[in-house]
Amino acid sequence: MAKTRATYICQDCGAVHSKWTGKCDACGAWNSLAEEVTEAALPKGLGSGRKGRAVAFFDLKGEDSKKITRNITKIDEFDRVTGGGLVPGSAILIGGDPGIGKSTLLLQAVCALAMNGVRCAYVSGEEAIDQVRLRADRLGLSHAPVELASSTNVRDIVAAMEDMKNDLKLIVIDSIQTMYVDTVESAPGTVTQVRTSAQEIIRVAKKRGICVMFVGHVTKEGQIAGPRVLEHMVDTVLYFEGDRSHQFRILRAVKNRFGPTDEIGVFEMAHEGLVQVENPSALFLAQRQADAAGSAVLAGLEGTRPVLVEVQALVAPSSMANPRRAVIGWDSGRLAMVLAVLESRCGLQFSGADIFLNIAGGIRISEPAADLAVAAALISSLSGHALPMDTVFFGEVGLAGEVRQVAQPDVRLKEAAKLGFGTAFMPSFKSEKNREMAGKAPIAIEEIGGLADLAAALASASVQKRYA
Ligand SMILES: Nc1ncnc2c1ncn2[C@@H]1O[C@H](COP(=O)(O)OP(=O)(O)OP(=O)(O)O)[C@@H](O)[C@H]1O
Ligand SMILES: [Mg+2]
Ligand SMILES: [Zn+2]
């Protein structure tokens, strides 16, 4: 048996330390080191062990290149995020806050597949079989031929996977933090256990062409708990997020070896489980107030999908020496930039005011195309004039105050027109070809070259008249 020794492993980043310290040298986290017993490292390289057998090399093009068939759940919102179905032999990690609905989502996906005749297994390390049955019952899925187990021992799970030969197509491990390998002394949930457990399961899955879906818990900071290394070991990382106080949930791909990232799937949490939301824009705009100053609609894009959301700004006089800047759902650095550009290029005064920015509905926006909508919301709140209700905005703002092109204006315009918007404020077209493409949507276009133009346009008589 290999010699074991105690080491201290950072539970955030997986860095190994020989002594305990309060702060991890590698990632800077405080109090994240935990003692774990690991097998002593191999002495210097390969040493004098057996001579290796040379690996075989192959052509890129296989002889009879087998086409992989992805397993499609027919839950569109789910399939789109996975890149068009689950790839055999791939490993997927799905993270999310406690109680957000990870088990529900995966149970629904597995049942959908099982009902299409795909052999699926669901291993719960957190719930007893009866609890999973109870959930399936509530979701109306108890008739689905899913193979259910409650276990946390990786050796047993792997044995079952091997037993099912190549019949098994998908296995869900809920969650990876509860799994343990009995040859490792650390407690379940520690970096070493999580890593070793995932490694063992992935190894068998690759060999047998089984797709594995791991549930992973997230830390307070919103990262998948324990090791970042886990994110490197899997092919796809999905996050299931959403504001607990809102009904909708967003499934987002942050890494995908077999498909595009930044695709989203939108669901609504209902009694009978997660229901797909086919028109998220309508959902996000549902509670928009008429004639409220400081509200602008962004014609955004999430992956390939247009999403309209409301950007709310409040500019209020401040009594503090350092006025507040609070941002929810957007990047505070970008807010600071848009404010600075508005002040220096348009002569607007925001210093001495508290500024709050909120993306309504609890969704998080990361694309720079939101700049123009944020600027419009800020100008509107500052002036106290509401923006016309039927207007959308998109465009990136540069430091010189210029408004820059963003991806896929045609898709954004089409979605806005579909939802009944009449005018779009957007960057100037660079070419006639672009203009032609966008011209197809039945919506009036206001081309904005710079932020100064935006301020002037919003103050102009025609815009003012529309909310008079
Ligand atoms: N009877 C019910 N009616 C409506 N919604 C319910 C009902 N029971 C549970 N839910 C919803 O399901 C959520 C729990 O879902 P689920 O157990 O799938 O989450 P999870 O992410 O797996 O949680 P955990 O991290 O605890 O494993 C609850 O937060 C609640 O919103
Ligand atoms: Mg769960
Ligand atoms: Zn660390």
Residue 468 in this model has a pLDDT that exceeds 60: no
Q: How far apart are the first and last CA of the chain?
A: 83
Q: Which residues' Cβ are closer than 6 Å to ligand 1? A: 96, 98-104, 126, 138, 269, 271
Q: Whose CA is nearest to atom 25 of ligand 1?
A: 98
Q: State in Å: Cα 33 to ligand 3 middle.
A: 8
Q: Which atom of ligand 1 lies at the shortest distance from residue 96's CA?
A: 21
What type of residue sits at position 189?
G
Q: Are 273 and 232 in contact (CB under 8 A)?
A: no
Q: Whose CA is nearest to atom 23 of ligand 1?
A: 99
Contacts of 68 (CB under 8 A, 6+ apart): 87, 88
Q: State in Å: Cα 361 to ligand 3 middle.
A: 34
Contacts of 377 (CB under 8 A, 6+ apart): 294, 295, 296, 311, 312, 313, 357, 387
Q: How much is the average pLDDT of 107-129? A: 94
Give the span between the Cα atoms of 243 and 183, in whole angstroms: 40
Residue 345 in this model has a pLDDT that exceeds 80: yes
Given this model, what pLDDT does residue 67 score?
A: 72
Q: Give, for ligand 1, the residue of 215, 217, 269, 275 to mutate: max count of ligand atoms closer than 8 Å to Cβ.
A: 269
Question: What is the CATH architecture of 283-466?
Answer: 2-Layer Sandwich (3.30)
Q: State in Å: Cα 125 to ligand 2 middle.
A: 9
Give the span between the Cα atoms of 293 and 295, in whole angstroms: 6
If pLDDT is split at 50, 70 and 90, which confidence band does 434 have?
confident
Q: Are 146 and 103 in contact (CB under 8 A)?
A: no
Q: How much is the average pLDDT of 441-457? A: 89
Q: Are 299 and 391 in contact (CB under 8 A)?
A: no
The reply to whether domains 76-277 and 283-466 share a CATH topology is no
Q: How much is the average pLDDT of 23-29? A: 85
Q: State in Å: Cα 73 to ligand 3 middle.
A: 38
Q: State in Å: Cα 122 to ligand 1 middle.
A: 17
Please give the C-alpha separations between residue 232 and each of 48, 126, 222, 293, in angstroms, as whole numbers: 31, 24, 17, 46
How many other C-beta atoms lie within 10 A of the C-beta of residue 63? 7
Q: How much is the average pLDDT of 140-158? A: 94
Q: What pairing do the DSSP bridges indicate for beta strands 444-448 and 423-427? A: parallel
Q: What residue segments make up the domains of the chain, in order of their start?
A: 4-39, 76-277, 283-466
Residue 441 in this model has a pLDDT that exceeds 90: no
State the DSSP string of 320-331. Answer: SSS--EEEESS-
Q: How much is the average pLDDT of 5-15? A: 81
Q: Pick 439 or 415 by higher pLDDT.
A: 415
Q: How much is the average pLDDT of 388-406? A: 94
If pLDDT is split at 50, 70 and 90, which confidence band does 98 have?
confident
Nearest listed ligand to the Cα of residue 249: 1
**Among the listed residues 85, 144, 88, 150, the one whose alpha carbon sits nearest the alpha carbon of residue 114:** 144
Q: Which atom of ligand 1 lies at the shortest distance from residue 174's CA?
A: 27
Q: What pairing do the DSSP bridges indicate for beta strands 91-96 and 236-241? A: parallel
If pLDDT is split at 50, 70 and 90, which confidence band does 442 have?
confident
Q: How much is the average pLDDT of 401-428? A: 90
Q: How much is the average pLDDT of 42-56? A: 71
Report yes or no on whether pTM surpasses 0.85.
Answer: no
State pLDDT tens for residues 282-321. Answer: 878 888 888 889 999 999 988 778 889 999 999 999 888 8
Cis status, amide bond into 142, omega within 30 of 0: no
If pLDDT is split at 50, 70 and 90, which confidence band does 187 have?
confident
Give the span between the Cα atoms of 142 and 148, in whole angstroms: 11
Give the span between the Cα atoms of 175 and 51, in whole angstroms: 39
Given this model, what pLDDT does residue 82 score?
A: 92
Contacts of 333 (CB under 8 A, 6+ apart): none
Given this model, what pLDDT does residue 16 score?
A: 85
The fraction of the chain above a pLDDT of 70, given in percent, is 91
Q: How much is the average pLDDT of 384-406? A: 93
Q: State in Å: Cα 124 to ligand 2 middle.
A: 8
Mean pLDDT for the chain overall: 86
Q: State in Å: Cα 215 to ligand 2 middle.
A: 8
Please give the C-alpha separations between residue 78 and each of 85, 91, 258, 275, 286, in angstroms, as whole numbers: 8, 16, 14, 11, 24
Give the span between the Cα atoms of 334 and 459, in whole angstroms: 24
Q: Whose CA is nearest to atom 5 of ligand 1?
A: 271
362: phi then psi, degrees, rounded to nearest 5: 85, 10
Residue 2 in this model has a pLDDT that exceeds 60: no
Q: Give, for ligand 1, the residue of 93, 94, 104 to mutate: max count of ligand atoms closer than 8 Å to Cβ.
A: 104
Q: Does domain 76-277 have CATH number 3.40.50.300?
A: yes
Give the span between the Cα atoms of 110 and 174, in whole angstroms: 12
Q: How much is the average pLDDT of 167-195? A: 90
Which has the minimum average pLDDT: 15-24, 102-111, 337-346? Answer: 15-24
The fraction of the chain above a pLDDT of 90, given in percent, is 48
Contacts of 165 (CB under 8 A, 6+ apart): 208
Q: Whose CA is nearest to atom 15 of ligand 1?
A: 101
- Give Rg (Cα) of the chain: 26
With 0-12 / 13-18 / 19 or more C-beta atoms within 10 angstroms meaning exposed / middle / buried, residue 148 is: middle
424: phi then psi, degrees, rounded to nearest 5: -125, 125
Give the span between the Cα atoms of 443 and 273, in whole angstroms: 37
With 0-12 / 13-18 / 19 or more C-beta atoms within 10 angstroms meaning exposed / middle / buried, residue 65 is: exposed
If pLDDT is split at 50, 70 and 90, which confidence band does 42 have?
very low
Residue 56 has which token pair? 């075989």
